[in-house]
A = this chain, B = another copy of it.
Amino acid sequence: MMIRSLVEEIENYLKELLAQSPHGWIEVQRKDLAEKFACVPSQITYVLNTRFNLKCGYFVESRRGGRGYIRIWKIDSCFRGLFPEDAIPGDYLGLLHTLVQKGFLTEREAFLLNLVFRVIESKVHGEFGSFLNRQIFREVLTSLGFLRNLEEGTTGSQARLPDRKG
């Protein structure tokens, strides 16, 4: 993997640790990291703020003082299990049409999602493919509540792309 900057180097290192962690979270020390990467400790804070914030799908817990620590959690999917397994049948096109009709999605949004479903259909055969599509559709549905409140340009909604910079 090509490393572009110190920030990314540290980011990759932490994500690697996370990927290898069986718990879904890791614990590190800012001081140690700073030492390992030969940088100022606040650099670590910067990485945490810009790459591991809630919007990016991570949650950071920390403690100062002696025995201080930084714990990083990967938020897998906050909405897991909201829907019964086969609540959503395979005909996404129809569902997308309905959502457009009801004003939950724009034509373009539905177009893009349909594109996604088709790619997965064509590349992931069998049961797993439809499982994936179901998962995605589920996530879309659960975020529709947020989406609905997001008129173009409004601020403060959760239905936004996470910032690259925190």
Contact = CB atoms under 8 A, between A and B. Distances in A.
Given A97-B161, A143-B111, A158-B107, A89 B2 contact: yes
A97 B5 CA distance: 19
A108 B140 contact: no
Contacts of A150: 107-108
**Majority SS at the chain A contact face:** helix
A58 to B, nearest CB: 12
Query: Counting chain B CB atoms within 10 Å of each CB, which of A4, A66, A119, A165 scores highest?
Result: A119
B93 A164 contact: yes
Contacts of A100: 161
Interface in A76-116: 76-77, 86, 89-90, 93-94, 96-97, 100, 106-116
A28 interface: no
Interface of A: 1-2, 4-5, 56-57, 66-67, 69, 76-77, 86, 89-90, 93-94, 96-97, 100, 106-116, 118-120, 122-124, 131-132, 135-136, 139-140, 143, 147, 150, 152, 158-162, 164-165
The 9 A-B residue pairs whose C-beta atoms are closest, nearest first, are A111-B159, A5-B67, A110-B161, A108-B159, A119-B136, A115-B139, A119-B135, A116-B116, A4-B67
